[in-house]
Amino acid sequence: MTITDACVCPYPAGDSSIRRMALEARELGFDRLVAVGVPSGEYSGLPVIEGVLISGGSAKDIAARVKRASTAGALVVVQAGENRFNRAVLGMKGVHVLTGIHAADRHAFDHVTAKMAADRRIALDISLAPLIRQRGAARQKALNRYLDILMLSRKFGFPLTLSTHARSVLEMRSVREVSALASLIGFDVADVEKALGSVDTLLAPQSSVKVIS
Instruction: Give the C-alpha separation, 160 to 193, whole Å.
Output: 10
Instruction: Report the percentage of the chain scoring pLDDT > 90.
Output: 85
CATH number of 4-212: 3.20.20.140
Q: Report the predicted TM-score, pTM, of the whole model to 2 decimal places.
A: 0.91
* pLDDT(1) > 90: no
Q: What is the DSSP string of the chain?
A: ---EEEEE--TTTSSS-HHHHHHHHHHTT-SEEEEET--SEEETTEEEEEEEEE-SS-HHHHHHHHHHH--TT-EEEEE--SHHHHHHHHTSTT--EEE-GGGS-TTSS-HHHHHHHHHHTPEEEEE-HHHHH--HHHHHHHHHHHHHHHHHHHHH---EEEE--BSSGGG---HHHHHHHHHHHT--HHHHHHHHT-HHHHH-S-----EE-
Report residue 72's pLDDT band, with 50, 70 and 90 as the boundaries. low
Q: Could you read off the pLDDT of 15-55 as tens digits, one per residue?
A: 999 999 999 999 999 999 999 989 999 999 999 999 999 99
Q: Give residue limits of the domains in the chain.
A: 4-212
